């Protein structure tokens, strides 16, 4: 499930780039409307362009990631401060909390929940540090710190930008009907086409530069799962290519899945929403499963000594997370607007059921006989965590 979740997250990243590119084209030439099949062609082109560096320049991907990070930080500042400096209009503060502006057909409460489910996409990568924990020093301490800081960074960067653009918006209906609402929103704030294009192209570059590392994650997660005999044909997919020095076969398999998943654009006009919400849902399902196991079997009995020990509050966090994910699971499967037609349906529910059926069939036919699970040396982990806790306590005691 976790492997599929990250594959779908990659689909969503490619979708963001494809939809952004289509929006830029429409902004330059308003008479040209990007159709569903053209959006899929853009999606396919982005998939190829971003996957090629993984195969031909895998040793230079670190440079791409660092560049994407730098442009992301710079871009966030530009997206905030340029509209603030060039805004043409300022709404009243009451506009931000005004009710009755929805046109989705849902009631205010349902629309609010649907909006939150889309907003959760921004925090979809909070577990990214876990997947590289083997390469970190003191992972028992650093990983929780990174996860917590990710949430705060997301909050204190996204919220000011969101509030500023809402204050400067001049035509809500134009934003709703635009092929790329974020582009229209910036244009209304700045009133300058060239500046709007510059900021949106910068955003597109960040999307594209971020995707090669996603392909690496897709391939490595599937390879690790195959190494534990969790996939069909594990001997084939657990091989690491000697020439490229990374799991080519599982990465290619992920590419095939991503290109097929993008065919949703041919089935529904709300395919982008379905891809994003399914990415949110699958990731959160993988977060819920281990938390449910801890609640049933006991945190104290099954967790090793650790830097961040929440005690009884841990049960509260785990219980709330599971309950929220149940609510989220229902919300993300709902259509974004009413009434519903075949071409506006949210296909997330179909995707979830279909993939779960495939997973269950593979488990019953092959997985339960061969799957071994990762080989974990719990004694070594407990010893490392105990040593880390001792060093942390000694450090704090020395400061006092």
pLDDT tens readout for residues 314-348: 899 999 999 988 888 888 888 888 888 877 788 88
Q: Name the residue with higher pLDDT: 18 or 311.
A: 18
pLDDT averaged over every residue in the chain: 84
265 contacts 257 by C-beta, under 8 angstroms: no
Helices (H) and strands (E) in the chain, counts: 17, 0
Looking from the CA of 204 toward its CB, the CA atoms found within 13 Å total 20
21 contacts 13 by C-beta, under 8 angstroms: no
Tell me: cis bond preceding 181? Omega within 30 of 0 counts: no
Tokens of 122: 């921004």
pLDDT digits (tens, 9 = 90+) for 128-152: 677 666 666 777 788 888 888 888 8
339 contacts 106 by C-beta, under 8 angstroms: no
Tokens of 126: 């909070």
- Give dist(CA 55, CA 248) in Å, integer: 8
Q: Name the residue with higher pLDDT: 98 or 55.
A: 55
- Answer yes or no: is pLDDT of 255 > 90: yes
Residue with tokens 């982005």: 46
- Give dist(CA 56, CA 98) in Å, integer: 52
Lowest average pLDDT, out of 163-172, 236-245, 374-383, goes to 374-383
% pLDDT > 90, the chain: 25
Our CA dihedral for 264, 268, 273, 278, rounded to 10 degrees, sits at: -40
- Answer yes or no: is pLDDT of 395 > 60: no
- Give dist(CA 205, CA 210) in Å, integer: 8
Residue with tokens 């635009």: 178
Q: How confident is the model at residue 369 (pLDDT cuts 50, 70, 90)?
A: confident
Beta partners for residue 241, in sequence order: 246
φ, ψ at 132 (rounded to 5°): -120, 20
- Give dist(CA 32, CA 29) in Å, integer: 6
pLDDT digits (tens, 9 = 90+) for 20-79: 999 999 999 998 888 888 999 999 999 999 999 988 877 778 888 889 889 988 998 999
Q: What is the mean pLDDT of residues 88-106?
A: 81
pLDDT value at position 65?
82
Q: What is the mean pLDDT of residues 144-163?
A: 83
pLDDT value at position 25?
95
Beta partners for residue 246, in sequence order: 241
Tokens of 170: 């001049």
Our CA dihedral for 157, 320, 217, 388, rounded to 10 degrees, sits at: 90
- Give dist(CA 367, CA 75) in Å, integer: 45
- Give dist(CA 291, CA 318) in Å, integer: 6
pLDDT value at position 131?
66
Q: Measured between alpha carbons, how far is residue 121 from residues 77, 118, 245, 281, 372 in Å? A: 21, 6, 32, 9, 32
CATH tag for 2-399 (out of 3.40.50.2300, 2.40.128.20, 1.20.1740.10, 3.60.90.10): 1.20.1740.10
286 contacts 359 by C-beta, under 8 angstroms: no
- Answer yes or no: is pLDDT of 393 > 90: no
- Residue 72 CA to its chain's centroid (Å): 15
228 contacts 373 by C-beta, under 8 angstroms: yes
336 contacts 117 by C-beta, under 8 angstroms: no
- Answer yes or no: is pLDDT of 399 > 60: no
pTM for this entry: 0.83
């Amino acid at each position: 499930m976790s492997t599929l979740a990250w594959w779908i997250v990659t689909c969503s990243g490619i979708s963001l780039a494809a939809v952004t590119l289509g929006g830029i084209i429409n902004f330059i030439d308003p008479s040209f409307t990007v159709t569903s099949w053209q959006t899929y062609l853009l999606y396919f082109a982005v998939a190829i362009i971003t996957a090629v560096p993984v195969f031909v320049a895998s040793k230079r991907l670190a440079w791409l990631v660092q560049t994407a990070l730098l442009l992301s930080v710079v871009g966030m500042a530009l997206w905030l401060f340029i509209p603030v400096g060039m805004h043409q209009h300022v709404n009243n503060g009451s506009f931000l909390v005004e009710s009755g502006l929805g046109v989705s057909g849902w009631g205010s409460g349902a629309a609010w929940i649907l909006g939150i489910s889309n907003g959760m996409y921004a925090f979809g990568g909070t577990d990214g540090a876990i997947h590289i924990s083997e390469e970190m020093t003191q992972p028992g301490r650093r990983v929780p710190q990174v996860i917590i800081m990710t949430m705060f960074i997301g909050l204190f960067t996204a919220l000011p930008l969101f509030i500023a653009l809402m204050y400067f918006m001049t035509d809500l209906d134009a934003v709703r009907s635009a092929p790329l609402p974020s582009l229209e929103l910036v244009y209304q704030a700045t009133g300058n086409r060239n500046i709007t294009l510059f900021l949106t192209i910068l955003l597109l570059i960040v999307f594209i530069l971020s995707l090669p590392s996603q392909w690496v994650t897709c391939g490595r997660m599937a390879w690790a799962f195959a190494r534990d005999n969790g996939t069909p044909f594990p001997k084939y997919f657990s091989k690491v290519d000697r020439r490229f020095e990374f799991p080519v076969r599982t990465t290619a398999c992920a590419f095939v899945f991503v290109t097929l998943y993008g065919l949703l654009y041919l089935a529904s006009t709300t395919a982008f929403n379905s891809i994003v919400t399914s990415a949110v849902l699958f990731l959160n399902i993988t977060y819920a499963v281990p938390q449910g196991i801890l609640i049933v079997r006991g945190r104290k009995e099954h967790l090793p000594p650790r830097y961040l020990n929440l005690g009884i509050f841990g049960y509260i966090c785990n219980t709330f997370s599971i309950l929220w994910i149940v609510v989220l699971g229902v919300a993300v499967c709902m259509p974004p607007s009413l009434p519903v037609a075949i071409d506006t349906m949210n296909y997330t529910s179909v995707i979830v059921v279909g993939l779960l059926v495939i997973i269950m069939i593979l488990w019953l036919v092959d997985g339960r006989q061969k799957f071994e699970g990762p080989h974990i040396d719990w004694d070594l982990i407990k010893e490392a965590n105990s040593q880390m806790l001792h060093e942390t306590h000694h450090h704090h005691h020395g400061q006092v």
